[in-house]
Amino acid sequence: MKIWIFAQLVLLTSGLVMADDYALQRQQMLTEIEDDVRLTAKHINKKSLNMQVIQAMNTVPRHEFVPDKMRFMAYQNRPLPIGYGQTISQPYIVALMTDLLQPQPDQRVLEIGTGSGYQAAVLAKLVSQVYSIEIIEELGKVTTQRLDQLGYDNIETRIADGYDGWLEHAPFDSIIVTAAISHIPPPLVQQLKKGGRMIIPVGTRFQTQYLTLVEKDMQGAITTRQILPVSFVPFTGGH
């Protein structure tokens, strides 16, 4: 009995140490995000990100969204491979893209490129509903299962070509695209609400990609602004 109790205490203590370790790593990640914000302040026109966004980044367990063998690197401020030729984005870019959407608690957001599910999980802490589309079937199934297991019940996923958006749930308060494309897809512009925002990396492997903010005013007019150069995996599918 004493041996069993000792073993349970060791396991419990190890779990607490691991949890505390991840918490410390998240704090370091947030510090590095803040450093990057200051370094790019001239490009992004701000010296700090919304505190609600920072809190969401501090709450979502990024280590749950990377392959097991990558967990020791989960909170490094860098992209990581997740298989299927895809990556989980750099934490700073996730935070910046989320911040640029200006998320509100009553909003509905469309994400193109579910990937690991990390970006959707961050958004789910800030908005009412996230709709996320992944074109790679195997990745989409694995990520949907992960999000369900982690309790993200306000994320709905779909396996499809994200270029066409998700008409059944349109219009959306905001749209986030996590793969680079040479142009802004017209169906996504159409499915964006008046007064809405879209953040999308525009460019190809052979030309500079720019994180681009698309805004639709209350009359339906569109304006775009390049934020800063980025490097995303390319859009796939028929476009």
pLDDT tens-digit series, residues 174-186: 999 999 999 999 9
CA distance 153 to 136: 22
Helix, strand, coil % over all residues of the chain, rounded to 5: 45, 25, 30
Over residues 142-175, the pLDDT tens digits come to 999 999 999 999 999 999 999 999 999 999 999 9
Taking alpha carbons only, the member of 68, 91, 70 closest to residue 79 is 91
SS3 call for 212: strand
CB environment 115-132: b (16+ within 10 A), e (fewer) = bbbbbbbbbbbbbebbbb
CA distance 114 to 98: 14
Taking alpha carbons only, the member of 212, 100, 238 closest to residue 160 is 238
Token look-up 């691991």 returns: 18
Which residues are within 8 A (CB) of 40 and not within 5 positions of it... i.e. 6 or more apart?
Answer: 228
Q: Which of 89, 116, 132, 174 is catalytic?
A: 89
Q: What is the pLDDT of residue 5?
A: 43
Q: What is the pLDDT of residue 177?
A: 98
| 182 given a catalytic annotation | no
Q: What is the pLDDT of residue 98?
A: 98
SS3 call for 197: strand
Enter the pTM of the model.
0.90
Which residues are within 8 A (CB) of 83 and not within 5 positions of it... i.e. 6 or more apart?
Answer: 67, 139
Segments of the chain with pLDDT less than 70? 1-19, 239
Task: List beta partners, residue 55.
Answer: none
Q: Write out the two tokens for 64.
A: 């749950």
Taking alpha carbons only, the member of 211, 54, 190, 219 closest to residue 122 is 54
Q: Write out the two tokens for 129.
A: 């509903």
CA distance 89 to 65: 11
Which residues are within 8 A (CB) of 213 and not within 5 positions of it... i.e. 6 or more apart?
Answer: 100, 197, 198, 199, 224, 225, 227
Domain 2-230 fold is Rossmann fold (3.40.50)
